[in-house]
Homo-oligomer: A and B are copies of this chain.
Amino acid sequence: MDETIRERLEEFIRRKGLRWTAQRDGIVRTVFAKDEHFTAEELFDRVRRADSDTSRATVYRTLSLLVEANLLREIDLGNDQTTYDPNFIDKPAHNHLVCIDCSRVVEFEDSHIELLNDCLTRRLGFKPLRQSIKIEANCEQLRLKGRCPNLIASRLTGKRLKKRR
């Protein structure tokens, strides 16, 4: 976990008169241990594995806290559970592409989008605060060759399979 994150969180907790607890520490550590997207339940499992006694409720409550502190972002991947993205600290303006074929999620950044976003909202009379783009797309590789070897390793970061009820 980046030291910046802990500092920012400590600052947030101090400012709001909250408390730094062992459970919060464990959860935050787990959240930022990897750069992968996750759901609350997935996080709960991971936390449990590392630190047997932390309740599901506390995990949910800490997630809300992190979102409020702007250290974590909720994203909508089209399934029924909220997905959390820990990568907005490093890439504050990134967006997501969901591969329809393999359900992989690819993160991408593009400054043009932000520019456009600004012009557009200003024209409409708004001041943009946050913006999210989700692109659903088919894999070209899959269509041309046989299998979907969609790694695009250089730009890929948050991968996570879609879970359906």
Instruction: Give me the interface of A with B, judged by CB distance under 8 Å.
Output: 76, 97, 99-100, 106, 108, 110, 112-113, 116-117, 120-122, 124-141, 143, 150, 152, 155
Interface contact B124-A131, CB-CB below 8 Å: no
List the B side residues contacting A108 at CB < 8 Å.
Answer: 120, 124
Interface contact A152-B125, CB-CB below 8 Å: yes
- Contact A112 to B116, CB < 8 A, known contacts A129-B100, A133-B133, A140-B126: yes
Interface contact A131-B127, CB-CB below 8 Å: no
Interface contact B116-A139, CB-CB below 8 Å: no
Complex partner residue of A138 from B100, B112, B129, B139, CB under 8 angstroms: B129
List the B side residues contacting A137 at CB < 8 Å.
Answer: 121, 126-129
Interface contact B116-A110, CB-CB below 8 Å: yes
Q: List 23 A-B contacts (CB under 8 A).
A: A97-B124, A106-B124, A108-B120, A108-B124, A113-B113, A117-B135, A121-B135, A121-B137, A122-B140, A124-B155, A125-B139, A125-B140, A125-B141, A126-B137, A127-B138, A128-B136, A129-B138, A130-B135, A130-B136, A131-B133, A132-B133, A133-B133, A133-B134
List the B side residues contacting A125 at CB < 8 Å.
Answer: 139-141, 150, 152
Query: Would you give the shortest CB distance from A116 to chain B, in whole angstroms?
Result: 6
List the B side residues contacting A141 at CB < 8 Å.
Answer: 125
List the B side residues contacting A113 at CB < 8 Å.
Answer: 113, 116
